[in-house]
Amino acid sequence: MNILYGVPGEGMGHATRSKVVIQHLLEQGHEVCVVSSARAFQLLSRTFPGRVHEIRGYHLAYKKLSVSRSRTAVLTLRTAPENLLVNFRKYRELLCGVEFDVVISDFESFSYLFAKWKRLPVISIDNMQIISRARLDVAVPPTERDNLALARAIVRAKLPRSQHYFVSTFFPLPVIKPNTTLVPPIIRPEILAARPTTGQHVLMYQSATNQKDLVPLLQTMPEQEFRVYGFNKEESHGNVQLKAFSEQGFIEDLASARAVVTNGGFSLISEAVYLHKPICAVPIPAQFEQFLNAAEVEKLGYGRHFDTLTADHLKAFLYDVGSFAQALSHYQQNGNTELFRHLDMTLKELPA
């Protein structure tokens, strides 16, 4: 079967998850052509040489630590004409000698529009559709209601009327729309192979690297050891070690961590859940999906959800890591078996 696979360039989580699924499809004997942009394109083109085509994507703009809707809109409008021209040329390029049978999209629009143009079935594989296709079970405060409405509007408009939706999630919710299957998070092989231990350090991933007071804040807890990723520096500040990015080093630090402090990003939270690591989640403001992930962490007893990162919040979280670890010990997931089984079945059932 010839498959066109679309991966957005915004956020490396999409790329690392899609890499796992693409590898599975190739092992099943399918021919896979990938379209992506930005850093995701670079990663995937190194992994699957000759199979990945570069397109132009759209990106979020930030103001301080929040997503700026106005800046994102201006950035999108400014780059849209050139992006559309490049992507239209890519449509024509993909038509040369290739007849696709199906499109799989990880919340990516180019491949979806290509599918609609060519009247191809679309299979959605991502975590974002949980916002629209399941009934939420956490309280949404007034400050998040506009963010929820915006997130739902975006999700509903992204891949409407797809053949099937596979929604990866670490928290089970009631499905409220047809053609929807909840599956466990997609876990990369390096995490599946990791053997978790409980060390003394706390792993921290800080994506918003303009939080300049982070090191002094962590130094107020000299009895705790912190290994901090996100600044891409290799520096030691007493009990705080800033770590330059290394995939192998990060996985080793994650697997041996006592606990994890992160934002509300799905990839790291789902890997921490898989490895049974207590989580302190401080979501980036104005991103409802991050709020939801963090709220579910606290609801399930896997950790704490805070709006801001403070010394008092960290101390409260670390005081209870034992109870969080106990709750996490009941989480079970058999790798990516469930998603692969459902996906293979769905592909076989597509009309010839």
Task: Report yes or no: 89 and 127 within 8 Å, Cβ to Cβ.
Answer: no
| Domains of the chain: total | 2
For the chain, 352 residues long, the average pLDDT of each consecutive 10-residue run is 92 92 98 92 95 70 40 39 53 68 94 90 97 97 95 92 97 97 98 97 80 89 96 94 94 98 96 98 94 98 96 97 98 98 97 78
Residues 105 and 158 grouped into a single domain = yes
* Cα Rg of the chain (Å, integer): 20
Are residues 136 and 274 located together in one domain of the fold?
no
Both 86 and 172 in a single domain? yes
- 262 and 316 fall within a common domain: yes
pTM confidence score: 0.89
Q: Which residues on neighbouring strands pair with residue 182, listed in sequence order?
A: 167
Element of type H or E holding 79: helix 69-94
Say yes or no: 149 and 293 in one domain: no
> Please, where are the H alpha helices in 134-186?
142-158
- Asked if residue 205 and residue 164 are part of one domain, the reply reads no
Q: What pLDDT score does 211 carry?
A: 66
Segments forming the whole domain that contains residue 297: 190-329
Whether residue 196 sits in one domain with residue 170: no
195, 316: one domain: yes
Going from the C-alpha of 249 to that of each of 18, 119, 233, the distances in angstroms are: 22, 45, 13
Is the domain of 231 the same as that of 170?
no
Instruction: Look at residue 61 in the predicted model and tell me its pLDDT.
Output: 34
Give the CATH number, domain containing residue 116: 3.40.50.2000
128 and 262 housed in the same domain: no
State whether 235 and 165 are in the same domain: no
Three-state DSSP class for 180? strand
Do residue 157 and residue 233 come from a single domain? Answer: no
343, 124 contact by CB (below 8 A): no
